Amino acid sequence: MAASGWVSYCPYGVDVTEAFEQLRQAVFERREYSVPGDLLAGTDEATLNQIAPPTRDLKKLLKISQALDQAFGSMGFDTKDAEQQTRDVEKMIRKIDKDGFAAAAREALGKQNASPPQTIDELREQCAEAGTHSLLDIDHLSPTPEPGAATPLSEEALQTLFGTTTPTKAQVEAAVAEGKLHERCARWQAVYFAVYEEGTPVELVFVGVSGD
């Protein structure tokens, strides 16, 4: 799955950090994010089987994992969790051999998503490197661009994009539709700025790109 561009609005607040945290919670509660199973739900079995990694490669990785479990265990390391993961992979490979990749993947992700996450942290752990394809992949604010951060868009950039430093929502949505705002975001990063109505800031908008 490729990265996704997303946009999230919240009421304007002088305390941007507080507004950001409240918006993250709202995005989570409104379920405005994606989990790995969402991709499978909209993809036919033929396509899933076509993009599946060769089973022989998975079996090679399984043997490596089993050897590592044994090696680290003999050195006194706690390999309980690793061994369970290895067994889970082994079960999935048997399922792939029997029913095909699509059926195995749907079953595995169905079990994973059986218990909806109760917190943002649980969701992020569940999605792991796939990300949530939403604001929830951004966990802090920063004055300069960095992974996982939302950065304020400069007045110079606002002027270039909108011809003004006080853009309206209509201008923002037009820029989003044209892809001009997402072009300014590296993957796993976001920008934010105020949205105006008759010269008064009324909302904050966060625009980002995240997910794999």
- Give me the residue spans of the domains in the chain: 5-36+128-209, 46-110
Torsions phi, psi for 129 (to 5 deg): -70, -15
- Distance from C-alpha of 43 to C-alpha of 32, rounded to nearest angstrom: 20
If you average pLDDT over residues 138-154, what whole number do you get? 96
Task: Provide the 10 A C-beta neighbour count for residue 119.
Answer: 10
- Structure tokens of 39? 């991709």
pLDDT tier at 91 (50, 70, 90 boundaries)?
A: confident
- Category of 119 on φ-ψ map: left (φ > 0), alpha (ψ -120 to 50) or beta: beta
What is this structure's pTM?
0.69
DSSP state of 137: G
For residue 93, what pLDDT band results from cuts at 50, 70 and 90?
confident
Burial (0-12, 13-18, 19+ Cβ within 10 Å), 67: exposed
